Structure 1
């Protein structure tokens, strides 16, 4: 399985990349035993110039094309952005603007964000989730936001594990209902079933005839006159 992580962090080191790494490690650890998970990280900071050129000339550069192909071919996707002006970053949005509109259809996606204050945590629900719902991705229920004060505090590791488990479940198909093939009937069973239905129909018809007897109106009048 291929797990692709898109990180829109700009600084080095980056808390956005740190959150992305923790989410990818937790997801890889939650997949079914024996599953070979290949993790690839796409750093949008390194693609900024090619993304801008793609808007002006309509063609992706070599590195951008490789990143778009990786995202398209992924079995699962983790996307992490820093919060700028109470929303995702412009670089993050630009990358998903140049990707094919159908590339994420039906793809499991875990959304996450980092910010300086917990007041921006709703960016996950009012910005990121609608974006990926529009792209027809399958967004896992648990989104992860990490404010500056969350690092090393209680709660963040639990959210990471819960979101990772949800993504791993979708990637491995554990949540898909099992489909059992319909039992195959042999020729003898079909003949017996047909004979049973015919016998039942005949009995029903006979019962109906015994219960409902049609008496001509003239005979009814004659019976009344004889009284």
Structure 2
């Protein structure tokens, strides 16, 4: 399994991570499936992402709307892709759609069976044990989240866009005192590629636990993964 967790993607700062991810996917093929976080009648985000991947020689050629799955044939086409992209959007709604469509466990099984799963923002949060930290984006408390269990593919919580609001970091520090999970927080332009022996850190993410923050360098992440 390889997971790629982005804070944001469509910005120039992500080019080093993009190139590395593209090389990993192209070693298997060039097809990427796209799971939308919500309906996209005009497919504007899909088309934007398709052009983005095209510059790296990758083909985003399958659009999946969880509210309108056509059956096992469509799911089979999705899981035959060389990678799957989980979009940004409303994390809670995305999780609900994955559950209601029966895709949460199927996607987890596909990823664990040596899949390459790419997530931006909400899509990256969904790779973690819980989406609780996402509550901060709507002014809520992570501690109040009771039904946030997600894909549980990495042994930490993920918080994107930490640079967007000066209040996010203090709130994450407080939350870290009540959760057993470490929290990795990324600014836009930062991210991680993990799995199959890879621990690749792009930018300078933060690792938050027990009310303290430190640099999430490669050594700390290796230690975290080895304890999982």
TM bin, normalised by shorter chain, reads 0.3 to 0.5
Query: What TM-score comes out, normalization by structure 2 length?
Result: 0.37
TM-score in terms of structure 1 length: 0.37
Structure number with larger C-alpha Rg: 1
1 or 2 for the larger relative contact order (CA 8 Å, sep ≥6)? 2
Task: Name the one with the larger helix percent.
Answer: 1
Q: Between Structure 1 and Structure 2, which shows a larger proportion of strand residues? A: 2
